[in-house]
Amino acid sequence: MGIFEQLPELLLPWYHAYKRDLPWRKDKDPYHIWVSEIMLQQTRVEAVKNYYLRFIAALPDVCALANVNDDQLNKLWEGLGYYSRARNLKKAAQKIMTDYNGIFPREYDDVISLPGIGEYTAGAVCSIAYDLPVPAVDGNVLRIAARLLNDDTSVDLPAFKSKIRSQLKDVYPEEAGAFTQALMELGATVCGPNRKADCKMCPCCDVCLAQLKGTVDSLPVRSPKREKRKEALTVFILQCGDKYAIEKRPGKGLLAGLWQFPNVPGKLAPQEALDRLEEYGLRPETKLKTVEREHVFTHIVWQMHGVYVKVKEIFGGFSWLTGEQIDAEAALPTAFRQFWNIREVNENE
């Protein structure tokens, strides 16, 4: 019997005994599973829990998501990053309302046709919600497979992912949803990323070729990452009385449609920053205070030069909101919120 053929009998009892208590595992509602899987992309489980509960409380079903306004949606997503995920959730919900009468589709081909849903998410929803024998192969599963097979092929190659997906599909049991989640659980915990594998606790230890050959720590193999492009940015945190200047980003591109503090490319020297304020029609009331921060995106690193200054009057074509309004209404992505979170320190210096 092949290694993959033994996985259901090894993993299912282990999963039922040791699975984590996660809020999206309370039922098999495809809406809940879908939202959680989108949130979990590029994001840690612990970080997602509260976001998920708040999101479902505010938008309990497909209809509510389809009709939410963009500012509220972005505010619910604030801090999770990769905001295109939220935009695609809404687009998909609208398609479900128009094409499927508001009922989440049950067929794999229909699910994968929705905006923002690829093979992995479609497999997760269809297997967990409907017990369809469709694998959900992500980085966790690829890591497990590379170690089980002692395979040093680069796991980010499409051909490797396709091979593993095909082999897993052939061994899916009737408890398809539990099997999918067992693979996820194993790859997120015992055989987890960025730490030493806990082979003694692994239900697959006896059949794992990497464990038998002593190569666990060298797997999986990945292709070298490209160096991220670096961009300098000067960010103005402008305060007038109890109000602060913010503006909307363009509707397309990086962080599309979100709020930001006014900013310009490059790192401005103090006099250049003052000249820019003059161009905005603003007169400083205090000296400039500066702070350096960095924010890392998938392919870009923003090297951010923050300039704090109180001004004498409201001007410049920005939206001027109180701190309470910004906290309640404006979705500030993490790149800009890091300046907002330290404003009290600057005010009290």
* Fold that domain 229-348 belongs to in CATH: Nucleoside Triphosphate Pyrophosphohydrolase (3.90.79)
Res 315 pLDDT > 90: no
Amino acid at 38: I
What's the pLDDT tens digit per position in 50-92?
A: 999 999 999 999 999 999 999 999 999 999 999 999 999 999 9
Query: How confident is the model at residue 1, as a pLDDT?
Result: 73
What's the pLDDT tens digit per position in 185-229?
A: 999 999 988 889 999 999 999 999 999 999 999 999 999 888 999
Query: How confident is the model at residue 71, as a pLDDT?
Result: 95
**Distance between CA 311 and CA 286 in Å, rounded?**
7
**Ranges of CATH 1.10.340.30 domains, the chain:** 3-218
pLDDT (average), residues 261-282: 96
Query: How confident is the model at residue 194, as a pLDDT?
Result: 84
pTM: 0.90
**Distance between CA 173 and CA 346 in Å, rounded?**
59
Residue 346: pLDDT band (50, 70, 90) is low
**Distance between CA 76 and CA 54 in Å, rounded?**
7
Res 348 pLDDT > 60: no
Q: Which CATH architecture has domain 3-218?
A: Orthogonal Bundle (1.10)
Mean pLDDT of all residues belonging to the chain: 95
Report in angstroms the alpha-carbon separations of 261 from 92, 235, 330.
Answer: 30, 6, 11
| Percentage of the chain lying above the pLDDT 90 cut | 92
CB 238 within 8 A of CB 316: yes
For the annotated catalytic residues, the residue numbers are 37
Query: How confident is the model at residue 342, as a pLDDT?
Result: 87
**Ranges of CATH 3.90.79.10 domains, the chain:** 229-348
Q: Tokens standing for 7?
A: 């996985």
Give the chain's end-to-end CA distance (angstroms, integer): 69
CB 303 within 8 A of CB 223: no
